[in-house]
Structure 1
Amino acid sequence: MTEKFSSTNTHKTSVVSRQGRWIRFLPALIVLYSIIKEFRVGTSFTYKYQTEFLNYTAATLNGEVYPYYAYAYLFAIVPILLFTDILLYKPIMYLEIFGQLAYRFTLTFTSSILSQQIGQAMYGITDASDIALSSYIYGKFEKDEYQKLTSWNSAGEMVGKTGGYLLTQLIILTHIGTYRTLNQIAFCASCIAFIFCFLMPRIKWKHIVAKISTEESRKFQGTHSVFPTSFLEYALYRLRNMKSDFFKNYSNGSIRKWSFWWAMTTSMSYQVTLYVQTLYGQVQVGDDTPLNAFADAAYSFTSAVFILLMNRLPINWDKWGETTLVTISIVDTVLLVLFSRTNSIYLMYCCYILYRSLYQVMITVAQWNIAKKMVTDSYGLVLGINSFIALILQSILVRIVTDKRGLGMQVREAYLVYAALHALLALIFFISIVYSIVSYLASAG
């Protein structure tokens, strides 16, 4: 009997030891996965590929193909935000990779307008599923590691994008391949990303329950809650607590402010990114060696550097967060106005690099601030709701501003609308700062 007990303890110790060694290597695997899945070769020239290789007009792409991205994103984000935590993250990570594969397949091997619409829809599902990896990180690790791992993950994504953009530009400048070649490489990269996703250890429901139990014990000492004892009970527990988790998290003023900025800025950033190649195309007529990918590589590399720097700086975001958001929003307004008015492709590149870099850095800051302030482990729910609101706003922008069934604005005029919305965002947070100062002075008096 003693030997059996000793053997059992030895086995458990061995398992714990292996898990401890594995968890030390997991951050590196996450960063590698982030790099590979964001190695999206050819993205900078999708518009030129579809107009010059597939022979679509700008009007067809902007009015009949690209809007499907936003609509599919909006359709997919609801079930994703509801079930990411319940399904323990990895199935949604697989969905992201499958969406990438389908999108690249339609670009590489098909040419009908229906297939391009399906491809845009799958790309929308891919981006809607992007919250799964961040939720996976927060579910697997402890809160004191959130800022570091969020920064590493975001920097890894930027490094992957930088590599993809540089390879894209190299192929175009040296003429060793065509726009079709770029999409073939991207399809292969998505296959490799699937392998890395498969290697990521799944999170067990017992691990999440243990985290919830520890958190509740810390907050409510002396109470004994009943926790799930099976996956079915865990799923039902998540469903029952979804409403209360929502109110617990969004009752925090800091989470509301960061989430509001996230949703507003993300919706506009998606629109700017979606139509930037159309704007480039207006001033690149007859240019056989455009530098679009260099611009993308520059913003992603700059973002990676500044994300890592922000992780090292001891900034009190509770104190300086709103001031930073006002400043960033004003800069974004100026950049988009310049972007929409200029006919210089190099000034366009500069505006795009600065705009996208500021967005990537601040969305990373917003993400870890929200995660640290959360009082429940419903990471997929909160991140999903923020993305859902952003997609509602983007779909409204698409329907009103660019869709041919709305105002059908040209891209330059649409960019002025996005600039005005950034100015409005700056005004809202400025009013919030003034209100906070007045309230503080009134209470001090």
Structure 2
Amino acid sequence: MGSIILLTSFLFSFAAEAMGCCKQEKSKTWTFPTLILCLYGFFCMMKPSEPFLTPYLTGPDKNLTTDEVTNQIFPVWTYSYLALLFPVFLVTDYVRYKPVLLLQGISFIVTWLLLLFAHGVVAMQLVEFFYGMVTATEVAYYAYIYSVVSTDRYRRVTSYCRSITLAAATAAAVLGQLLVSLAGVSYFHLNAITLASVSLAFVCSFFLPMPQKSMFFHRKDISQTPPGADQAAAAPDPPRPSRCQEDKSSAPAARGLAPERQDDTPSPQQHVLRVLVQLSTDLRDCYSSRKLLYWSLWWALATAGFNQVLNYIQVLWDFRAPSHSSAVYNGAVEALATFLSSVTSFVVQYMKINWDLFGELALGIFSAIDAGSLFLMYFTTNIWACYAGYLVFKACYMFLITIATFQIAVNLSMERYALMFGFNNFVAMVIQTILTVVVVDSRGLGLDIVTQFLIYGSYFAVIDGIFLIRSIYMLVSSKCKRKTARSCKEHLNHAAHESTEQIVTGDMTRL
């Protein structure tokens, strides 16, 4: 019911916004693509079968064993996602987003067609490969916004798109749970509903207008020389800094993303090479900022662990309470987890905390809570305790990733933020792949699902140790600096007082 209210309020607010702007000529450039993009995101996330994937695979429909699902099928998603992430990131910008959204829609359809009608381990590995394509192409969804709306509307449109996908994910989980628990709908028919939904998303993607620009390869200002350090500082109210704030004086950072103007039009190969060289330079400049480096390090480490837990949590639930003999509440738990995550992410903006000073302490504390939640899932045999641990784990991660996103984005231009976002996720996938090969894959240790969560809890405990130690070091250093500054100020005041007394004494002697 809450998700329905959220969705209804969103539709009314968006309709009011669109009607208020329809008299303006500029509205034609953003209201229609935003509406289509929101519909696309809604139908993509309306997947009531997703919380019940493991019971479906291990049940009578597919008749796979838990070991086959855990050690042979699910790892394929990690490998395919890693292999596709970086090339898709570059191709997405080069072809200007819409073709990649079409590819995502096709991958969605193929995934659920295979889930419905294919059988066997190899077929389900193909499912995971195509779903890896789906997740790798997600970058096109939010990047498309930047290419069709002006910068002053970007935050608003992003809010619309994130709200609609959040509402759809919550509604899908609630719908799936209600259909399974109250109507007795089979998992097969849930997947059929999901296939219909993603097919509608694919149809919606055809109506998206083709962008005329992109962030890197098709920039409108590609021939313009960006302002230098002094000019950028004097620019009136920029929406976001044009380079890393901590490296303003460095020459590479002052160049921005646009290459220097040349008289001759470069060939496509030269243009692509120039952009790639500039992207590598931007990455080097941004990661030279120690602040951004540590926030990115947590992002990559925590996201790798979070994705790994999300990928295998249903297997643990099915082990604690087998779906063939117990009631399954995966949909209700996912809906509640999504709601709590949205609440914790929303609360961040109202917390008046110096994140530069206490941010890493928060990373350490909440990473410790994540580790404790995972250890709870390992030691308990109660399914409700497992559900509770998962709720706490996901809410804490979403709280921290919101802070990390803000801390990184506030220091970068939109282009550099997109670049760091993609690279951080790539590093996270590399770490996740290592975890999968060593811990999960049958060619590695091939650990059982319960022992895996002991490893994941230990992994987050290591993250907790890294950032707690660093936060303590930062707090002690800050305190010492304040103490030194205070003593220096007192010394200067004392010296000035003595100098004043000497001058007064000298004047009295002369008198």
TM-score over 0.5 for the alignment? yes
Residues 309 and 47 of structure 1: CA distance in aligned 2, closer, same or farther (over 3 Å): same
* Residue type at the aligned position of 1:38: M
What is the match of residue 331 of structure 1?
369
Partner deviation per Cα, 1:404-444 (whole Å, 9 max, x = no partner): 22222111111111111111111111222223234434545
C-alpha RMSD of the superposition: 3.2
Which residue is equivalent to 1:12? none
More helix by share: 1
- Alpha-carbon distance between aligned partners in 1 of 2:104 and 2:399, rounded to the nearest angstrom: 22
Bigger Rg, which one? 2
Structure 1 residue 21, shift from structure 2 partner: 4.1
> Residues 85 and 336 of structure 1: is their aligned pair in 2 closer, same or farther, counting only changes over 3 Å?
same
How many angstroms apart in 1 are the aligned matches of 2:103 and 2:36?
19
Does residue 1:254 correspond to 2:254, yes or no?
Answer: no
Q: Which among 78, 81, 92 is matched to residue 86 of structure 2?
A: 78
User: Within 1, Cα distance between the matches of 2:276 and 2:224?
Assistant: 20
Distance (whole Å) between structure 2 residues aligned to residue 150 and residue 368 of structure 1: 14
Alpha-carbon distance change, 344 to 288 in structure 1, aligned in 2, over 3 angstroms: closer
Partner amino acid, structure 2, of 1:216: P
| 1:216 paired residue number | 226
- 2:101 maps to 1:66: no
Q: Which residue of 2 aligns with 1:429?
A: 467
The code of the aligned residue for 1:178 comes to S
1:242 counterpart = 2:279: yes
**Partner deviation per Cα, 1:265-312 (whole Å, 9 max, x = no partner):** 111111111111111112223435311110011111222333334345
1:97 aligns with 2:105: yes
TM-score of the pair, normalised by structure 1: 0.86
Relative contact order, higher structure (CA 8 A, sep 6+): 1
- Checking the alignment, whether the CA contact within 8 Å between 1:245 and 1:376 is kept in structure 2 is no
**Equivalent position amino acid for 2:226 in 1:** E
* Structure 1 residues 314 and 88: CA distance shift in structure 2, 3 A: farther
Match of 1:282 in 2: 319
Does structure 1 residue 205 correspond to structure 2 residue 174?
A: no
Question: Following superposition of structure 1 onto structure 2, how do residues 20-59 of structure 1 map, counting pairs within 5 Å?
Answer: 20-24=27-31, 27=34, 29-52=36-59, 53-59=61-67
Report the AA paired with residue 381 of structure 2.
N
Query: Post-superposition shift, 1:147?
Result: 6.1
Question: Residue 343 and residue 179 in structure 1: after superposition, are their counterparts in 2 closer, same or farther (change >3 A)?
Answer: same
Contact 1:139 1:377 in 2 (8 A): no
Q: Is the 8 A contact 1:39 1:189 kept in 2?
A: yes
Query: 2:99, 2:380 → 1: CA distance?
Result: 44
The 2-side partners of 1:369 and 1:201 are apart by 33
Q: Given the superposition, is the C-alpha separation of residues 295 and 59 from structure 1 closer, same or farther in structure 2, using an over 3 Å criterion?
A: same
Matched-pair identity in %: 27
Distance in 2 between residues matched to 1:308 and 1:32, nearest whole Å: 23
Give 5+ residue unaligned stretches, structure 1: 1-15
**Structure 1 residue 226 corresponds to structure 2 residue 233:** no
Compared CA separation, residues 254 and 367, structure 1 to 2 (3 A): same
Q: What do residues 162-205 of structure 1 show as CA deviations (whole Å, max 9, x unaligned)?
A: 11111111111134421111111111111122233333444322
Q: Is 36-45 or 305-314 further displaced after alignment?
A: 305-314
Determine whether 1:396 maps to 2:434: yes
The answer to whether the 8 Å contact 1:400/1:408 transfers is: yes
State the partner residue of 1:410.
Answer: 448
Distance 1:391 1:323 in 2: 25
Aligned to 2:489: none
Look up the equivalent residue of 2:103 and give its one-letter code: L
Where 1:115 maps in the other structure, the secondary structure is: helix
Which residue type is aligned with residue 125 of structure 2? Q
Q: 1:117-154 deviations in whole A, cap 9, x for unaligned?
A: 11011111211222232333455567776666555544
* Alpha-carbon distance in structure 2 between the residues aligned to 1:311 and 1:202: 34
Instruction: Pick closer, same or farther for the CA change 1:162–1:231 going to 2, 3 Å.
Output: farther
- The letter of the residue matching 1:266 is T
Separation of aligned partners in 1, 2:102 and 2:228:
34
Amino acid at match of 2:412: M
Partner deviation per Cα, 1:89-135 (whole Å, 9 max, x = no partner): 33333333332222111101211322111101111121122223233
- The aligned counterpart of 1:272 is 309
| TM-score (normalizing by structure 2) | 0.76
1:341 matched to 2:379 = yes
Taking structure 1 as reference, are residues 305 and 146 closer, same or farther at Cα in structure 2, changes over 3 Å only? farther
C-alpha change, 1:80 and 1:359, in structure 2 (3 Å) is same
Q: Secondary structure at the match of 2:370?
A: helix
How many correspondences in the alignment? 431
Consecutive unaligned residues of structure 2, counting only runs of 5 or more, are: 1-22, 233-254, 485-511
Letter aligned with residue 50 of structure 1: L
Taking a change above 3 Å as real, the CA distance of residues 343 and 113 of structure 1, as seen in their structure-2 partners, is same
- Whether contact under 8 Å (1:172, 1:289) holds in the other structure is no
How far the C-alpha of 1:220 sits from its partner, in A, is 5.9
1:353-392 paired onto structure 2 within 5 Å: 353-375=391-413, 377-392=415-430
1:296-311 mapped onto 2 (5 Å cutoff):
296-311=334-349
